[in-house]
Amino acid sequence: MPELPEVETVRRSLLPVVLNKPIEAVEVPYERIVQQMEIPTFQEQLLGQSFLDLSRRGKYLIFSLERGLELVAHLRMTGKLIYYSDSAIPRAKHTSAIFNFGSQGELRFEDVRKFGTLDLVREGEYTQIKGLDTLGVEPLSQDFTWQFLEDAVKNRSAKIKGFLLDQRHIAGLGNIYVDESLFMAQIHPERTAQSLKRAEIKRLHQAIQEVLTEAILGQGTTLRDYRTGYGREGSFQNRLQIYGKKGEKCPRCGVDLEHKKVAGRTSHYCPACQRE
DNA sequence: AAAACCGCCTGTCGGC
DNA sequence: TGCCGACAGGCGGTTT
């Protein structure tokens, strides 16, 4: 569910409300959310500490703690991190973890499908968090240039859809923004990565940055579960061009939009604007 | 190298 | 109305 724009929105919304508040209690109703650590150890390590900073890498949220520790969260499909100013507010049915700040409210990890994860590690030690260790370039950073993309797709026989979903290449893209980016760049999802011409690579590079930037400005896309750190919906679902719009008309040319499985994921595209 | 599965979970939706 | 399968924004692991 949450892709880069959603995770970045959660980061920005939590930043003003969860830092520098001593953690007075840690509850873990769904113990499997905590990876590779016993719950009592997890609680002991966090108790009395404060979050000093909150950063993001791809779809991972990283809470910096004292003593050189970091709490790494991944929301997977339906995870939400929401700050409640009043701990007395009833908990959602699927609340996986709670970080209580006493009279200063609490941070809750809610997750219907329970795929979300929490890792407590020493600062920068990500080898045990497989996906984070091998994460590719940040698409909104200076490092992500069209030349970088041109180099990355070289000799890649994978379909461009699968290539863009692979977090080892570019960090943070998911099914929605890959489809939106390919539509904007007018590239068919089943083209092989290596078949893209320079002009297409430039368009794709530009499209990825534009789509992600606009989605962040819109506070992300709420189709169902996603919420900001304040529990509010995003607005970018109102500006999607093709995702979830099978059967509707292409906003560019008016042809009926189609969808099919590509690289194992439902993929939306315009058969006229995005030729194979 | 990459695709095709499966598993992890719960909820929703469409078809019958 | 009820049941049943398909499917969902992610990703790791195994097999092919």
Domain boundary among A58, A87, A122: A122
Return the pLDDT at A244.
93
The verdict on A113 and A156 lying in the same domain is: no
Q: What is the mean pLDDT of residues A5-18?
A: 98
Please report, rounded to whole angstroms, the spatial distance between the CA atom of protein residue A104 and the C1' atom of nucleotide C10. Answer: 32
Q: What is the mean pLDDT of residues A216-242?
A: 96
Catalytic residues of A: 2-3, 59, 265
The verdict on A111 and A151 lying in the same domain is: no
Please report, rounded to whole angstroms, the spatial distance between the CA atom of protein residue A259 and the C1' atom of nucleotide B15. Answer: 20
Chain C positions under 7 Å from a protein CB? 7-13
Contact (Cβ atoms closer than 8 angstroms) between residue A201 and residue A181:
no
Domain at A166, CATH number: 1.10.8.50
Q: Over chain A, what is the mean pLDDT?
A: 96
Give residue A234's domain range. Answer: 146-269
Q: Is the CB of A124 under 7 A from strand B?
A: no
Return the pLDDT at A208.
97
pLDDT in tens, A250-260: 999 999 999 99
pLDDT of A180 strictly over 90: yes
Sequential DSSP letters for A25-83 = EEE-SSGGGB-SS-HHHHHHHHTT--B-EEEEETTEEEEE-GGGEEEEEE-TTTEEEEE
The verdict on A74 and A174 lying in the same domain is: no
Q: Is the CB of A219 under 7 A from strand C?
A: no
| A54 lies in some domain | yes
Q: Is the CB of A159 under 7 A from strand B?
A: yes
Return the pLDDT at A209.
97
pLDDT in tens, A78-122: 999 999 999 999 999 999 999 999 999 999 999 999 999 999 999
Please report, rounded to whole angstroms, the spatial distance between the CA atom of protein residue A116 and the C1' atom of nucleotide C10. Answer: 9
Domain at A24, CATH number: 3.20.190.10
Nucleotide with C1' nearest the A2 CA: C9
Residue A130: pLDDT band (50, 70, 90) is: confident
Distances (CA, A) of A145 to A50, A57, A96, A201: 37, 18, 39, 10
The verdict on A114 and A162 lying in the same domain is: no
How many separate domains does chain A show? 2
The verdict on A118 and A152 lying in the same domain is: no
Return the pLDDT at A228.
97
The verdict on A178 and A262 lying in the same domain is: yes
The verdict on A99 and A154 lying in the same domain is: no
The verdict on A160 and A71 lying in the same domain is: no
The verdict on A111 and A153 lying in the same domain is: no
C-alpha A230, offset from chain centre: 17
The verdict on A22 and A87 lying in the same domain is: yes
Q: pTM of the prediction?
A: 0.97
Please report, rounded to whole angstroms, the spatial distance between the CA atom of protein residue A175 and the C1' atom of nucleotide B11. Answer: 20
Q: What is the mean pLDDT of residues A175-199?
A: 96
